Amino acid sequence: MHFSLHITSNYTIYIKLTIILIVAVVGLLLAGCSESQPQAPKGATQARAASSVPARWYAAEHVTKGGQFYAQFCASCHGVAGQGAFNWKQRGADCKFPPPPLNGNAHTWHHPSRVLIKIIKEGSPGGLGNMPPWGQVLKDGDIAAVIAWFQNEWPDPVYAAWYQREMKSRGQN
């Protein structure tokens, strides 16, 4: 009987040592595999995220001037806040599309600046909409100001996505 107790206590010690060894090895493996880096303060992370948004190409004066032109020439169709027609994705009875939102909620940000300028100057491409050509009314600087106004309405992620497309269209990706 004494012999069996000795075996049982040795076996228990063996099991405990095995468990401790396994836990230690797993802990070392996990510590060695993780590439833990010191945590940056929350403010630093936010600053890094903000710096990933490209600077806007326009100044406040452009937005102010563009807002005046927008109110005069664009708001009656695209809405006071650039919200566009509620059904802008559906062709009307005339088979043309209603004015899209310009505030970042539609496809305007998909177009590089040269396309936006062309649409404003020449009107709706291919008769797809009812936008008149403004090239004889607005100068190039006025058109740029209108674009600045509606781009100023875009949230940072939308502007950043547009900026990437803009750089790609210029061959600067």
Residue 29 inside a domain? The answer is yes
Residue that has been written with the tokens 């708001």 in this structure: 75
Do 81 and 150 lie in one domain? The reply is yes
Instruction: Evaluate if residue 2 carries a pLDDT over 60.
Output: no
Do 33 and 84 lie in one domain? The reply is no
Task: Report the alpha-carbon distance of residue 68 to residue 42 in Å, rounded.
Answer: 40
101-155 pLDDT, tens digit each = 999 999 999 999 999 999 999 999 988 999 999 999 999 999 999 999 999 999 9
State how far the alpha carbon of 113 is from the alpha carbons of 42, 90, 140, in Å.
35, 25, 12
Do 67 and 31 lie in one domain? The reply is no
Do 72 and 20 lie in one domain? The reply is no
Q: Which segments of 67-164 are extended strands (E)?
A: none
Do 134 and 76 lie in one domain? The reply is yes
Do 18 and 69 lie in one domain? The reply is no
CA 71 to chain centre: 27
Do 148 and 97 lie in one domain? The reply is yes
4-33 pLDDT, tens digit each = 445 556 666 666 655 665 655 445 445 554
Domain that holds residue 96: 60-169
The domain spanning residue 124 has which CATH number? 1.10.760.10
Do 10 and 64 lie in one domain? The reply is no
User: Quick check: pTM over 0.85?
Assistant: no
Task: Report the alpha-carbon distance of residue 48 to residue 166 in Å, rounded.
Answer: 22
Do 149 and 92 lie in one domain? The reply is yes
48-85 pLDDT, tens digit each = 344 589 999 999 999 999 999 999 999 999 999 999 99
Residue 8 inside a domain? The answer is yes
Do 85 and 151 lie in one domain? The reply is yes
